Amino acid sequence: MIRVAIVDDEPLARRRLERLVAREPDLVLQGSFEHPLDARVSLGEVELLLLDIEMPGGNGFDLLQALRPGQCRQVIVVTAHAAHALPAFGHRAIDFLLKPYDDAAFAAAVARVRLQLRAEDALAQGPASAPGAPAAAAPATPVALRVPGAGGTWLLDPAQVSCVRADGREVLLHAGQDVHRVTGRLAEFERRLAALGFVRVHRAALVNLARVRRLQPCGHGDRLLELDDGQCVRVSWRFAAALDQRLL
> Which stretches of the chain are DSSP H helices?
11-23, 36-42, 60-66, 85-90, 103-125, 186-193, 237-245
Whether 2-124 and 156-245 share one fold: the answer is no
**Is residue 29 a contact partner of residue 110, using CB atoms and an 8 Å limit?**
no
CATH of 2-124, picked from 3.40.50.2000, 3.40.50.2300, 3.40.50.1370, 3.30.1330.60, is: 3.40.50.2300
- DSSP labels, 182-197: EES-HHHHHHHHGGGT
pTM strictly above 0.85: no
CB-CB neighbours of 158 under 10 Å = 22
Asked whether 116 and 157 are in contact (CB, 8 A), the reply is no
* Residue pLDDT tens, the chain, 248 long: 899 999 999 999 999 999 999 999 899 999 999 999 889 888 889 999 999 999 987 889 999 888 888 889 999 999 999 888 888 877 778 888 999 999 988 988 898 888 888 877 766 665 544 455 444 455 566 778 888 876 678 888 888 899 999 998 899 999 888 899 998 899 889 888 888 889 999 899 999 988 888 888 876 667 889 988 888 999 988 888 888 877 76
CA dist., res. 165 & res. 172, Å (int): 5
Q: Where are the domains of the chain?
A: 2-124, 156-245
Q: Does domain 156-245 match CATH 1.25.40.10?
A: no
